[in-house]
Structure 1
Amino acid sequence: MRVENIVACSYVSSNAKSFEGVEAATGNKLDGVFTVATEAEVDNALTSATTAFSTYKNISGHKKATFLREIAKQINIIGEQLVNRAVQESGLPLGRIQGELGRTTGQLNMFADLLAEGSWVDAVIDTAQLDRKPLPKSDIRRMLIPIGPVVVFGASNFPLAFSVAGGDTASALAAGCPVVVKAHPAHPGTSALVGEAIVNAAKSTGMPGGIFSLLYDDSYAVGSALVKHALTKAVTFTGSYKGGMALVKLAQERHEPIPVFAEMGSINPVLLLPAALDESAEAIANKYAVSITLGAGQFCTNPGLLIGVKSASLDVFKTALAAAIEQVAPATMLTKGICENYHNLSTQVLNEDGVSVLAESKLTNELANQSTAKVVEVSAAKFLSNPKLQEEIFGPYSLLVIADDEQQRLEVVKSLEGQLTVTLMAGGNELESYTELLSALQNITGRIILNGVPTGVEVCAAMQHGGPFPATNDSRFTSVGSTAVYRFVRPFAWQDWVNALLPDELKDGNPLNIWRKVDNTYTKD
């Protein structure tokens, strides 16, 4: 495993400052001393990325697809070593990391398929009408083109799927943009292994060196320098509201403001409707005990808010949920800091007026950084009077809000800030009676789920993983699924252009055989 910074697919080391990886479950240091990147390396990475962009943006979709598939292949070659290191650094269970490995390579191949098919560029052609009166109409052709070097921040809770070769990197490369990754300090060894796989893939497929860089830092200086650098054209981030908004602020203060695509978390409300509870209160409670505590609750789609109306069935739900939560075993959290923050916040919330413990795990173990599952409850009236209760507590925690009636539940929904997801647990045909509620929910979320759980995000073309502020800072885009590519492109038009000099996507005869909108009709002609 190489531990130096990677600049333009080459290993460099010019700084005495360094840090080591840590095993999450024990706090013990792991192999590898990782060098903190210098300002010069930041500048070299982005200068090289800009140089590579002039070449890479014009490489065919098929060649880019080959590159992405080769990254997936190289990752699979080191699969066992990579999974073992990720388990050590993250504390996440083996099965979870194995699944995440499959998701990571699957995303790369999904974007490769998108590129190979080619229609994603949204080619639009309006042909000339030279005899139009009173003025002739020009020939205008438009498609999406890449914007330039993208800075990707690795996420703490997905050391593979939202990290060095995760969805942000894969979609940026698919768009035609070189990538500079700021490795997350919680999993530097995992990052190093994946970085080497990308370098190998870039070299074997003949990509320009500046296509990829990987920089380390256990503080904020390198990340700040990357965002402020004049050659950076976009930034992606998955993490806390505080961290995301700090990057947004830096990006907006530049001479040239640039887009930051920040996914900043969510409490993902779950509405427990009466018929659903009447039919299966215990089953729903058991399902949500699992979802709340899955992965020690360290998902941005963790169900952190449950909303019910007083009833005998809700009491059955509460009893079953409490019994299940009490038997949840502790789990290793991602870092010492995340664990301490979780315990502090989940304890402090009990100081808020009207908040009480519904259930808390009774099990313990002696490993480091262990979570304790907890569900608390509060009345809707108290919730409505205290905006602090809407704040995310990152971990195996959820707040049950109990309304006096459906009108008060609607008031709770209308008071909520933007969310990644909202879930409705409904029975029979009762949704037909909730038109006003459904309309209100559409205003606050990017995805609505029926009779499921929010944990688990399918990687597909239809997925929307984003939502109104503060879940994300730009609800028009998704960070999961094939349409994540649209974060890194802009529309560009050619007017009365020479056919031979047009991109293949816009040439007469449609040489790539893609879907195009020609004179307002979608066609492959």
Structure 2
Amino acid sequence: MPYTPHGKHLIAGDLVGADETFTSTPVSGAPFTFSAGSAALIDRAATAAEEAFWTYGYTDAETRALLLETIADEIEDRGVEITETGSAETGLPPVRLDGERGRTTGQLRMFATHIRKGDYLDRRHDEALPDRAPAPRPDLKLVQRPLGPVAVFGASNFPLAFSTAGGDTASALAAGCPVVVKGHEAHPGTAELVAEAITAAVAKCGLPAGTFSMVHGGSLDVGKALVEHPLIMAAGFTGSLRGGRALYDLCAARPNPIPFYGELGSINPMFLLPAAMAARAGAMGTGWAGSLTMGVGQFCTNPGVAIVPDGPEADAFIEASATALAATGSQTMLTEGIANAYRHGRDALITTGAAREVLSKTCEGRSGAPSLFVTSGAEWAANPDLGHEVFGPLGIVIRTSGRDEMREIARGLAGQLTCTIHMEEADSGFARELVPILERKAGRLLVNGFPTGVEVCDAMVHGGPYPATTFAGTSVGTMAIRRFLRPVSYQNFPDTLLPGDLT
């Protein structure tokens, strides 16, 4: 039987209603009414999180690991309902949501394993040197300690992996930080189900109820109240450049500024080098089209720009890309707002006249269809707007005059999540020239692959220079935990006073 949402906030274990409400906009099935968030509800959740921190922030790694594993179990127990609700709300196919749920629970369990090892604490000890001349050295021990309550914003494009129990929440809980989640209005029923799973896990593990709260969205004032609350010590966000930058500025303007770990956008450029183009231009064009349209282009690692050397190989690449894209029909996007923004971005490209339209299909309402544009290196350099992310299945091919122009395009890039090089062995010399440039531009560099999709593992970096993210770091992989920790040094401390992670 389909899940019927209760439509309330989950604050420190309590179901809390509100007079103000909003109605969900599912792709299929009946809409439901949800309580809207408010500054008063945020204050209640943040206050409960601060109270919980005095216990949860001082738990050992085993306690936190058990919580993460129990959350994973509770999510899996609700797996059928989560998939059904998420699919109805977002239009994502069940197989995609099943995979995303597996990624979410897998990440929780991986973090549990990681914190048990203790390496993330970066423990250091400089023993006392009482006889050192000209001055003795004290005994010094260092360890990473949790920041305090963390705000997490649910993402529109990943209702599970980057939302209520996603990477930011898992990272913060692993670090020892209570979490207050602002649910995303695009999938409130899904957020509610996952919040129930986390709440149940907190109770099963005997931890303070304020360790986790979820407040539904509503007006923009809810997010503002969350990042401005004086008890919130850091924030995690995945979303648009405009919205993320506004929140980042609010965090910086606080009397006590806090870190805002925002993922804000990326065009994920690919550089297709001459020998690779000569060997397999058509295959790369077909592969690019598949990566570009995966999930209707609604992945933050969507490779929106291909930089190629001009010539017949460029013609073959563009023809293969256009053929593959033309075979892809219109598909439902996550929200009507995302679909409207996609069409606006596509139409803006047409209006500039700086890029030639090769393919553009009609799409209306909540749907999106592939678009393909071609421009020159000179037009790209003269029109910075071409470099703005268009969130959806839209690609731009830049035909360049050769290595010098490709190199200049690389140097002019803003910060990216990923940069890709397609190459053959004969391209190695030029690739070596590009790598030092591109590693200053992106957090993940690829060779002969497509960046759509992010592996959850120790060595992954999902972040990059601004505007890809607001701080150099990662929101995926075990290094993500370090965002919510800070180093503390203990001088001449007896073992009885040291935190458990140091004894």
Q: TM-score, normalised by structure 1?
A: 0.93
Where do residues 126-275 of structure 1 align in structure 2 (5 Å cutoff)? 126-275=126-275
Q: Residue 423 of structure 2 corresponds to which residue in structure 1?
A: 426
Question: Does the residue aligned with 1:463 lie in a helix, a strand or coil?
Answer: coil
SS at 1:249's partner residue?
helix
Q: CA deviation at 1:243?
A: 0.7
Distance 2:411 2:39 in 1: 46
Describe how 1:450-461 pairs up with structure 2 within 5 A: 450-461=447-458
**1:417 corresponding residue in structure 2:** 414
In the alignment, does 2:499 pair up with 1:503? yes
Aligned length: 499
Unaligned runs of at least 5 residues, structure 1: 508-525
Q: Displacement, 1:360?
A: 3.1
The CA distance in 1 between the partners of 2:359 and 2:344, in whole Å, is 17
> 1:178-213 deviations in whole A, cap 9, x for unaligned?
000000000000000000001110101101011011
1:469 and 1:495 map into 2 onto residues whose CA distance is 37
Tell me if structure 2 keeps the 8 A contact 1:306–1:400. Answer: yes
The one-letter code matched in structure 2 to 1:444 is: K
CA contact (8 A) 1:47 1:231 kept: yes
CA distance in 1, matches of 2:63, 2:449: 39
CA distance in 2, matches of 1:505, 1:39: 36
Distance 1:42 1:408, change over 3 A: same
CA distance, structure 2, for counterparts of residue 433 and residue 41 of structure 1: 56
2:91 maps to 1:88: no
User: What code does the residue aligned with 1:492 have?
Assistant: V
Q: Distance in 1 between matches of 2:148 and 2:239?
A: 23
Q: Which residue of 2 aligns with 1:396?
A: 393
- Give 1:21's aligned residue: 24
Give the conservation status (yes or no) of the 8 Å contact 1:328–1:361. Answer: no
Q: What is the aligned partner in structure 1 of residue 330 from structure 2?
A: 330
Distance 2:360 2:352 in 1: 17
Please tell me the residue identity of whatever aligns with 2:346.
Answer: S
Give the letter for the 2:59 counterpart: I
TM-score where L is the length of structure 2 = 0.97
What is the Cα deviation at residue 329 of structure 1? 1.6
CA contact (8 A) 1:353 1:382 kept: no
Q: Within 1, Cα distance between the matches of 2:6 and 2:128?
A: 56
Cross-structure match for 2:67? 67
| Pairs within 5 Å for 1:334-373 | 334-361=334-361, 368-373=365-370
Q: Indicate which of 364, 376, 401 corresponds to 1:379.
A: 376
Alignment match, 1:516: none
Determine the C-alpha separation between the residues in 2 that align with 1:434 and 1:294: 27
Match of 2:490 in 1: 494
What's the offset of the Cα at 1:29? 4.0
SS at match of 2:214: strand
User: What's the CA shift for 1:361?
Assistant: 4.5
> How far apart, CA to CA, are the structure 2 residues paired with 1:181 and 1:278?
50
- Which ranges in structure 2 are unaligned for 5 or more consecutive residues? none
* Contact 2:60–2:500 under 8 Å retained in 1: no
Amino acid at match of 1:90: T
2:57 maps to: 57
Query: Over aligned residue pairs, what C-alpha RMSD do you find?
Result: 1.3
Q: 2:10 aligns with which of 3, 6, 13?
A: 6
Per-residue deviation at 1:19? 1.2
TM-fit CA distance, 1:368: 4.8
- Superposed CA deviations along residues 290-313 of structure 1, whole A, max 9, x for unmatched, are 000000000111011110011221
Instruction: Return the letter of the residue paired with 2:46.
Output: L
Separation in 1 of the partners of 2:326 and 2:253? Answer: 48
Q: Deviations over 1:109-153 (max 9, x none)?
A: 011111222221110000111111122111000000000000000
> CA separation of 1:85/1:291 partners in 2, compared to 1, >3 Å: closer, same or farther?
same
| CA offset digits 1:318-373 (Å, max 9, x no partner) | 111111111112111010111011112102201213311122348x7xx9511110
Going from structure 1 to structure 2, the CA distance change for 1:119 and 1:440 (only over 3 Å counts) comes to closer
CA contact (8 A) 1:9 1:211 kept: no
Contact in 2 for aligned 1:125/1:506 (Cα 8 Å): no
**How far apart are the structure 1 equivalents of 2:478 and 2:431?**
32
Identity within the alignment, %: 42
Cα distance, 1:500 vs. partner? 2.5
Distance 1:221 1:434 in 2: 47
